[in-house]
Structure 1
C-alpha cells in the first residue's frame, strides 16, 4: 500500500458528510466548529475563503480548498458581513436573514440566477494517523481547477442531488476520489510537499516506502530493503535519507509508533500484543521506543486517550 492510501485508510477518512450550497449574493456563511478536514469546491460562480488571519482567498469555478482549521468563513465578497453561523450541525441566522433552506436532498439555498454553487465535504478523521495526514497540509490548501478534478467534481455534483438506494455510499466514494485527486495535485505543485511524496517518484525508495507500509511489523533491515529496491546498501541508505529526510529504519520506527498509538486507543489489546503487532517481540523495548516518541508510556498514553 502506498503512503497516501495508508494514511487515508488509517485516518478513517471515509465517513464524510456531503452537501451542496447554492447562494445568491450577498451571502456569507461562517463554520464555527468544522471537523478536522473539510473540502470545499466552487462549481459555479466564485467565493472567498477567510480563515480569520491573512487575506481572504478567492475560489474560482472548479477550484478546491482543503481546510484543516476549525473555524472559517465562505462569502461572495470579503466585505459581506456574516449572515449565518453553522455550529453543531445547526444554522443560526445573524442578520435577520432566513435560515438556509433545503431545496433538494443534501442541497441548500435558493438556486436563483447569479448564485454561486459549492460542494462541501466534511471529514471526521481519527487518531495519530490523522495527525500525520493533516501535518502535510497548511491551514488551507487551494487546488486550482484542472481537467481531472473537474470531472470528479461534476460527477459528485450530479450525485449529490439524487436520493436513490446506496446514495450515501456513492457520495462518500466519489468524495474520496475528489479528495485524493486534490491531495495529489496539491502535493505535486506545492513548494514544500511532504518528503515522502517526492520520494515516491524514485523507483527504489518508492518501493521501499510501499514495503514498509505494507508490512510494518516485518523485521526489516536496511540490507533487505536495499535488495528489494535493487540498490547497494550504502546507495539505498543515502538515497532514502536524502529523499525522505530520515534513515529508513527511523522512518519505520516512527510509523510503527503511529500504528501503536492508534491500537492502544482503539483496542483493548495488551501492551505486549500491540508491541507484537507493530514488530516488537520485547514489550519492554517497545515501551521504551513508544515513550521516546510519544512522551508517555503505552499504558499512560492509553489512559490519557480514553479519558480525554
Structure 2
C-alpha cells in the first residue's frame, strides 16, 4: 500500500453533523468561534468565500470548501450582507452546538432575507485522535475544490446530491449511511486536492509525491523501529547517498534523519497517551537505542518531558 493510502486510511471521523442549508439573499456567516472542522458544498446558487488577508472568491454550484481542522472564514451572498456567527445560526434552529461526544445527526438551517436562493450541504466533524493528524498541518487551512478540478472530485457529486436530497430523511438507519458517506467524501476531497495541487510547500506532501523520496518516507513511517541511516534510506529510494540526501532536503525541508526523529517523537507521544507502556518500552518500540537521548529530544520537540506529557494528557 502507498503512503498516501496509509495516511488517508488512518483518518476516521467522530460525530458528524450533516446540515442542509436553505439561504436567501442577503445572508452571511463567519466561523470565528466554531471549534470543529467543516465542509460546505454548494448544491445550488453561489456564494462568496473570504479568508483573512486574501481576496474573496466566488464559488458556484458543484464547488466545495473544506476546512480540515477549523479556521476563521466568511461566507456571504454579497459585500453588504449582514454577517452572523455560524454557531448562532445553528443554535437558533434548535442545535445545541458541535460536540464530538454526541452521535452523528442531521440538521436543517434556514436563513436570509428572502431574495435569490443558495442551497448548501455542510458537514461539521472532528477526526479521531491519531498520530497521522499532525500530517494534516501541511495542508492549507482552507481547501477550495472546483467542480471541474481533477478527475477524482467530480465523482463525489452524486453522493453530495444524494445527501442533500435526503437530508430530511427520518427513516431508521439513514444517519448511519449518511455518516459513512460523509467520511468517504471528506477523505476523497483530501485525496483529490493532494493529487491535483502542483505547488505543495516543502514538507511530507511534496516528498510523498516524489516517487523516490516517497519510498523512503514510506519506509520511515512503516518501520520507524529500524535503525535507519541515510545510506540505508538511499538504497531504499534507489539513489546514491548524496543525491538522496539533497533531494530529501529539497522536498521535505529537513534531512532524512531529522524527519525520522520527528516521526518517532510523534509516535512516542501517541503511545504515551494511548498505552500503559513504560517510557523505556516506548523508547524501544519507536526505535531509539538511547533512553537518555530519547528523553532529551522529546523534551526539545514537545516542550516537556515524556513523564509530564503523559501526566498532562490524562487531565
CA distance in 2, matches of 1:224, 1:52: 44
1:298 is matched with which residue?
306
- Contact 1:65–1:142 under 8 Å retained in 2: yes
2:190 is matched with which residue?
183
Which secondary structure does the structure 2 equivalent of 1:86 belong to? Answer: helix
Deviation at 1:286, TM superposition (A): 1.6
1:265 is matched with which residue?
273
Show the 5 A alignment for 1:59-138. Answer: 59-67=59-67, 68-82=69-83, 85-86=86-87, 90-92=90-92, 99=93, 105-109=106-110, 114-125=116-127, 129=131, 132-138=134-140
Please identify, of 207-216 and 66-75, the stretch whose mean Cα deviation from structure 2 is larger.
Answer: 66-75
- Contact 2:18–2:122 under 8 Å retained in 1: yes
Number of equivalences:
298
2:101 is matched with which residue?
none
2:156 to 152, 157, 162: 152
- Unaligned segments of structure 1, at least 5 residues: 93-98
CA distance in 1, matches of 2:11, 2:305: 22
2:37 is matched with which residue?
37
TM-score for both structures, normalised by structure 2: 0.78
1:289 to 288, 293, 297: 297
- Contact 2:17–2:123 under 8 Å retained in 1: yes
CA distance in 1, matches of 2:9, 2:308: 26
2:98 is matched with which residue?
none
Change (3 A) 1:176 1:193: farther
Change (3 A) 1:22 1:276: farther
Which secondary structure does the structure 2 equivalent of 1:269 belong to? Answer: coil
- Contact 2:43–2:120 under 8 Å retained in 1: yes
Change (3 A) 1:305 1:190: farther
Deviation at 1:107, TM superposition (A): 4.3
CA distance in 2, matches of 1:152, 1:207: 29
Which secondary structure does the structure 1 equivalent of 2:218 belong to? Answer: helix
1:218 to 208, 222, 226: 226
CA distance in 2, matches of 1:208, 1:173: 33
CA distance in 2, matches of 1:46, 1:202: 37
1:276 is matched with which residue?
284
Deviation at 1:45, TM superposition (A): 0.8
1:96 is matched with which residue?
none
- Contact 1:226–1:236 under 8 Å retained in 2: yes
2:246 to 223, 238, 241: 238
Calculate the aligned-residue CA RMSD, in Å.
3.4
1:28 is matched with which residue?
28
The reply to whether residue 16 of structure 1 matches residue 16 of structure 2 is yes
Deviation at 1:239, TM superposition (A): 2.1
- Contact 1:47–1:59 under 8 Å retained in 2: yes
Change (3 A) 1:304 1:149: same
Deviation at 1:297, TM superposition (A): 0.8
Q: Deviations over 1:25-60 (max 9, x none)?
A: 233344453234222121211122345665543221
Which secondary structure does the structure 1 equivalent of 2:127 belong to? Answer: coil
The reply to whether residue 141 of structure 1 matches residue 143 of structure 2 is yes
Which secondary structure does the structure 2 equivalent of 1:41 belong to? Answer: strand
- Contact 2:3–2:214 under 8 Å retained in 1: no
